[in-house]
Structure 1
């Protein structure tokens, strides 16, 4: 008998190894009925599923189609990114630049395509594209799970539905900057599907090559894709393939790509340029935390994130845009509990390696795909983020639906109950998602929600204060928010001080504006606009000699609004008796930079008059009146010049 078994084992053909997933085999061995084919395997069935996914997704996310850009990387990715605002002629540069400390040229190119079609000032175009890709991803999840468990109805359907409408998806879909999530997910899922086809086809090389190309595209969309080689090994395990040398060797090209993209990510997020090969779009900074967290602290943060991601799967409440370390405190009691939870789950997974392929596969998928963002290496100022679960949650959705379907397989009595539970949970998720997309309507609504959740987070007060001051004109509320941010720990950051200077400048209090802009500069403000604004405050205080060096400094820096700044510089020079310098700058503003505001011609006319060019003065002031017929100061000046 023993010899017969060994002989059978040695003569198993490769095809038989890949004929079906091991879960199906386990169910068959246990005497349970496994359907050979389901309605969803037919063309009509798949069409119905696709229609259902589209409708459910639309109901869940349509309330966010008119959302605005938010002041949380959208200005870096879109509004202040010349690659997107001026895409023509810059397509190749996307491969040589990084944005917001991320190297993802395919993501940037997709945004450039958006801008080429509908302009860079239309947030709806970017959001709709995110949504469209997300719907495609939901369909791909259905196809992927159908390959993992052929013949099943409930598991592919509800795994895809939960992926489509869960409120933890909102950040990835509604936040424009997270185009990278849905795009890397698209290629990641396609790669997974092709790899399963590769296994089921008797390992035809063309499918492995296509898997590799799709994996490369996924890495070019977001660095989180680098874990795919380990996921492919999980697919081998699930499908019953022995993890032998051939299975490892064929992953080597994937691992090399992962290593390269990993090195790029670490270098860039440390503030580097990858040996001069990749340049920065935007302000130079570093994402890697400079805080001296101990290894034990970092493991606790990882455990806390691991636990909360599992919790939010079933209880998606109190979801925020930003989960700060400071707001929950360094001694937060849930940190050690989270670490214990993570350790117990991983130990249970390890012990079930030979007993439960389902548990190992599902938890393994979640853990592998979430591991890089569990803050063991601290990146940024947040302890976790909803967007990080975009692909990882597929593992947990799969586990959840498989466990419920196992009840149906045991007894038909549970069928209606299980379908009802899953359907109600999907409806609940749609309801919660509709609420969540409204939170992302604009910067004000987003960070007001974060303040509700984390009232001690200075970043949220600062960001909301900037928005409501600049966009809504709520100057007193803006001042209060920025003062609160300073009180809570943002006193060494230039941002709140600059916001205060702007608010007081708009209110007409030039003295306070100058004081706050000076504080912003003292705290390290690097924008030309800060110097320009302090110069304007000095100008309004009738201190042109102080204003001139600020305007000159601003013109040497980025974001200086050069025409506007030079116009003020010329006016300050005129008021301080430097008429010749003023004339030179007014000439640059009008003749070289195309400044066509009436005030530029009016002031140049006054300058020419000071220099004895009466005829030139009259021409310029008359031009000012052509541009602005109700310009009373210009009319009065012409009378004084005897030109009327």
Structure 2
């Protein structure tokens, strides 16, 4: 399937111990997601090119992610946590990430993302109940470490600190200075590794052409439409495609602004 050769079967960095060093010090496969390719490296040492091992790894990680979803929602005192976790585990839109070997980066980064969120919620709970304590410090340290792991697997996980702020606002109806300060290191880490990915895409991958030519307004129109597209797939996933037809984005059409306006 697309990119499985690029990331696994034809990836020379997986073949020997020296390749592991190159994964972390060079852009052996773009974009630079060294932890993602390190897991592929370990998998290659254990079972070579046997596809079963890679598929089982994705399935096990997805199962762990469903448990983490349940745990987070349970900590947030949502009575339907088990239902949401089951929906997360069984929903058809998950098929691509779980069944496609290359999409290990999705399930693995989600594992780190959710684990970091769970640790941060533990930290916040300790802070509220007993103030600064060794337990709170450990939970915060684990959250920061796991967030770094998530970013080194796939930098789309840069959204974590913003998601945590949204949870604070949802639960308390306000965001205070004390809520923002502990998240500043996470924002900084996300900014640095996000820039690394952006620069890699531009100068190594050569991301250019029509798909990258949209201006800020057009990107906003795309984001608004994407929100409703994914919401629609959550409710009715059929049909599920590898590549969906490209949208026509025209900033001169009044109807194009309906999607972002509805999100706002």
TM-score when normalising by structure 1 = 0.38
Match of 1:322 in 2: 243
1:208 matches 2:140: yes
Match of 2:197 in 1: 265
CA contact (8 A) 1:223 1:261 kept: yes
Match of 2:207 in 1: 287
Match of 1:231 in 2: 163
1:220 matches 2:152: yes
Equivalent-residue separation in structure 2 for 1:107 and 1:338 (angstroms): 37
Equivalent-residue separation in structure 2 for 1:246 and 1:182 (angstroms): 32
Q: Deviations over 1:536-582 (max 9, x none)?
A: xxxxxxxxxxxxxxxxxxxxxxxxxxxxxxxxxxxxxxxxxxxxxxx
How far is 1:113 from its partner?
1.1
Equivalent-residue separation in structure 2 for 1:163 and 1:124 (angstroms): 23
How far is 1:296 from its partner?
4.1
1:105 matches 2:10: no
CA contact (8 A) 1:144 1:193 kept: yes
The equivalent position to 1:124 in structure 2, one of 52, 55, 62, is 52
Equivalent-residue separation in structure 2 for 1:336 and 1:97 (angstroms): 46
SS at match of 1:287: coil
Matches within 5 A, 1:147-226: 147-149=75-77, 152=79, 155-202=80-127, 204-226=136-158
Equivalent-residue separation in structure 1 for 2:237 and 2:174 (angstroms): 38
1:310 matches 2:231: yes
CA contact (8 A) 1:73 1:100 kept: no
CA contact (8 A) 2:70 2:81 kept: yes
Q: Structure 1 residues 210, 241: CA separation in 2 closer, same or farther (over 3 Å shift)?
A: farther
CA contact (8 A) 1:103 1:223 kept: no
Q: Structure 1 residues 241, 205: CA separation in 2 closer, same or farther (over 3 Å shift)?
A: farther
CA contact (8 A) 2:62 2:98 kept: yes
How far is 1:101 from its partner?
2.7
Q: Number of residue pairs matched?
A: 254
Equivalent-residue separation in structure 2 for 1:189 and 1:128 (angstroms): 20
Q: Structure 1 residues 324, 261: CA separation in 2 closer, same or farther (over 3 Å shift)?
A: farther
CA contact (8 A) 1:304 1:336 kept: no
Matches within 5 A, 1:138-153: 138-149=66-77, 152=79
Matches within 5 A, 1:230-249: 230-240=162-172, 243-249=175-181
Q: Which moved more, 1:134-143 or 1:293-302?
A: 293-302
How far is 1:338 from its partner?
6.2
Equivalent-residue separation in structure 2 for 1:330 and 1:185 (angstroms): 30
CA contact (8 A) 1:138 1:164 kept: yes
SS at match of 1:323: coil
The equivalent position to 1:114 in structure 2, one of 23, 28, 43, is 43
- The structure whose RCO (Cα within 8 Å, separation 6+) is larger is 2
CA contact (8 A) 2:249 2:256 kept: no
Q: Which runs of 4+ in 1 moved over 6 A?
A: none
CA contact (8 A) 2:116 2:147 kept: yes
Equivalent-residue separation in structure 2 for 1:249 and 1:127 (angstroms): 40
Equivalent-residue separation in structure 1 for 2:149 and 2:86 (angstroms): 25
SS at match of 1:98: coil
Match of 1:579 in 2: none
Equivalent-residue separation in structure 2 for 1:171 and 1:314 (angstroms): 17
CA contact (8 A) 1:101 1:287 kept: no
Equivalent-residue separation in structure 1 for 2:173 and 2:262 (angstroms): 27
Structure index of larger Rg: 1
How far is 1:131 from its partner?
0.9
SS at match of 1:89: helix
Q: Structure 1 residues 128, 171: CA separation in 2 closer, same or farther (over 3 Å shift)?
A: same
SS at match of 2:203: coil
How far is 1:261 from its partner?
0.6
How far is 1:177 from its partner?
0.8
Q: Deviations over 1:12-49 (max 9, x none)?
A: xxxxxxxxxxxxxxxxxxxxxxxxxxxxxxxxxxxxxx
CA contact (8 A) 2:221 2:260 kept: no
Q: Deviations over 1:580-620 (max 9, x none)?
A: xxxxxxxxxxxxxxxxxxxxxxxxxxxxxxxxxxxxxxxxx
CA contact (8 A) 2:109 2:149 kept: yes
Equivalent-residue separation in structure 1 for 2:28 and 2:20 (angstroms): 14
- How big is the alpha-carbon RMSD for the aligned residues of Structure 1 and Structure 2? 2.2
1:74 matches 2:7: no
TM-score when normalising by structure 2 = 0.88
